[in-house]
Amino acid sequence: MLLKKTGERDGFTVLSDECGNTATFDFIEMTSIDGNEYAALCETETGDLVILRIAEDGTDEAYTTVDDDEVFDRVCKAFASEFPEEFDFD
């Protein structure tokens, strides 16, 4: 799923999906793996932690879900290793 950054509100990032649904996120951290950048975001309404791959859609900043379980596990381990005080996936 592709999510486009559609704005910022009070320092938070607003993302919209293809259907026009929006959600507001607090940017937590970013890491790089195999030439791809990943962001850890906290959805402000639910408090859910979301890990997304940073992508570009033309000139727009965009994010995509990490659908490959193996890649997702590697990204989670990278966040836990780089930022142990902030991420505990156990």
> Domain spans of the chain?
2-82
Instruction: Specify the pTM.
Output: 0.82
Residue 37 has what pLDDT?
Answer: 94
Beta strands in 58-90 (DSSP E): 60-65
**Residue 45 CA, distance from chain mean position:** 15
CB atoms near residue 85 (< 10 Å):
5
Mean pLDDT for the stretch of residues 43-71: 88
- Three-state SS at 71: helix
Distance CA 51, CA 29 (A): 10
| 81 membership: H or E segment, kind and range | helix 69-82
